[in-house]
Amino acid sequence: MSDAQGTTEATGTAADTEPTAAGGPGRGIAFLKGHGTENDFVIVPDPDGVLELTPAAVARICDRRAGIGGDGLLRVVRSAADPEARALAGEAEWFMDYRNGDGSVAEMCGNGVRVFARYLQHAGLAEAGDLAIATRAGLRRAHLAKTGEVTVSMGRAELLPDGVTVTVGDRSWPARNVNMGNPHAVAFVEDLGHAGELRAVPPFSPAAVYPDGVNIEFVADRGPRHVAMRVHERGSGETRSCGTGACAVAVAAARRDGADPAVTGSPVTYRVDVPGGSLEITELPDGTVEMTGPAVIVAQGTMDPAWLVTALG
């Protein structure tokens, strides 16, 4: 990616930026573009925490017609420089400040954390091997394989009381209520086409179960411990993939199939196909869920200063 004045390196420093996207972008803001199973993100390096990205600014940056385009934005900031992550600074140097494509703040993003880890490696801020990352959902540990895949320990799935119903048109399904640091409603369907266009949030009830919205997954079987899904992500619409959603789906499918690692003492692994590829999800006997999949950096450049002034005000 480049602006009219050419592409510049964007590898771990926000030194070429003035403090705020909303007030005075000056020489522009460095960015990269990356994706994990085609769930794509704008990456903004801000190691010292000097940028103030308002919801409106994030939404415009993520706009696919008037901005750079992305399902969400990953701000890369040192944990010690951000009040939300300062308590984790002793365990993780870097904090993933994730925003949905509409500018709203999110607790966690599974594909995003893989892309975040890949960025740190790309920028020379991390090497292949193990890496701790601070998120709003807590500490996440990633393993950067030399093959290019990234495995992330996503924490434990919280299976909450059911009683949720998801509706599309004249069809309704019961949904499994799963929390992966963010909320998910998992509905098993015969055909993924039954999910419809997913341009708007599928109606769900009771609404009080998800006061801040929910990610809704529609899941169809493909074979033994193999499912496919489509997802409407809270704040982003239908996306090509959702990492936390794939984790929620694998756990919900395992329980539906009578598999519980805590009972058997053996890991349970599901392949979860998404429109943008496949993810491997493993639930360990201690309840920890691990996700393995690709993460790719595709471009880097600088947001044009004139565009920032005009578009972001």
User: Which amino acid, one-letter code, is at 245?
Assistant: G
* Beta carbons within 10 angstroms of residue 256's beta carbon: 14
Yes or no: say if 116 and 96 are a contact pair by the CB < 8 Å rule.
yes
Catalytic residue among 32, 43, 44, 109: 109
Do residues 299 and 69 touch, judged by C-beta distance below 8 A?
A: no
**242 given a catalytic annotation:** yes
C-beta separation of 99 from 61 below 8 A: no
E strand or H helix that includes residue 60: helix 55-62
Whether 62 sits among the annotated catalytic residues: the reply is: no
For 259, phi then psi, to 5°, come to: -105, 125
Q: Is 145 helix (H, G, I), strand (E, B) or coil?
A: coil
Q: 86-110 in b/e burial notation, b at 16+ Cβ within 10 A?
A: eebbeebbbbbbbbbbbbbebbbbb
- Picking from 20, 18, 22, the residue whose alpha carbon sits closest to that of residue 313 is 22
What's the CA gap between 260 and 41, in Å, rounded?
Answer: 34
Catalytic residue, from 57, 231, 242, 274: name it: 242
Active site residue ranges:
109, 242
